[in-house]
Amino acid sequence: MSTRLAAEGLSVVVNYATDGVAAKEAVTAITSAGGNAMAFQGDVADAQKMVALFDSAEAEYGGVDVVVNAAGRLELATVADLDLDVLDALHRTNIRGAFVVAQQAARRLRAGGSYLSFSTSVLGTQVPSYGPYVASKGAVEAITLILARELRGRDVTVNTVAPGPTATDLFLEGKTPEQIEALAKAPALERLGTPEDIARVVAFLTSPEGHWVNGQVLRANGGMV
């Protein structure tokens, strides 16, 4: 996603919590292609870290025009069996983290800018064991829709992308080949989404061409019911 946004001409700050290797690889890919990028380490739920992240972006590039918050945790358990400590950790990243980043975006984005967060199409499919994750993403969607109205008059768009089954490490982890095959057949297009599919949606919604789309949740899922 960061490389696609860089290809659209944006200077990029790649934030990471723990995987510094992947972040540095993304920065190298962008700079090798002639783009501008830097890495920053920060927990999205840590308000001071996120202030420092936005300060760094403004100092390096002169301002903030696009914010994409794709940070998230996934834990699968039935409501009856869920460990509440796991729920707290999940919601710290997925809800508090979403709010912290959205707050900084609301304060810092320049006119013509865009804020984009991530939800999930499982909100509609209601798959058992996804309760804690879906609860957190329902909160993300609500925050997004309210923030779009709160930024009236700023010429800043606020949207959420809600992917369906997408072949990311987070999605594939812990699933059997049979489960993956069944999930791949769920969309009408009969395949898993790819990170590139989602990156194209993100690039559109954060571009001038997508600036008339505001206060929306876009379910990028290949036609899932």
Which amino acid is present at 83?
D
Strand partners, 157: 114
Please list, in sequence order, all residues whose beta carbon lies within 8 angstroms of the beta carbon of residue 169, skipping any fewer than 6 positions away: none
- Catalytic annotation on 61? no
| Residue 32 C-beta-side C-alpha neighbours within 13 Å | 7
**Beta-carbon contacts of residue 171 (< 8 Å; ≥ 6 apart):** 74, 165, 192
Residue 133, token pair as written in the block: 């994750």
Residue 112 φ/ψ, nearest 5 degrees: 90, 0
- Which of 16, 61, 115, 133 is an active site residue? 133
Q: DSSP character for 215? A: S
Q: Which positions are catalytic? A: 133
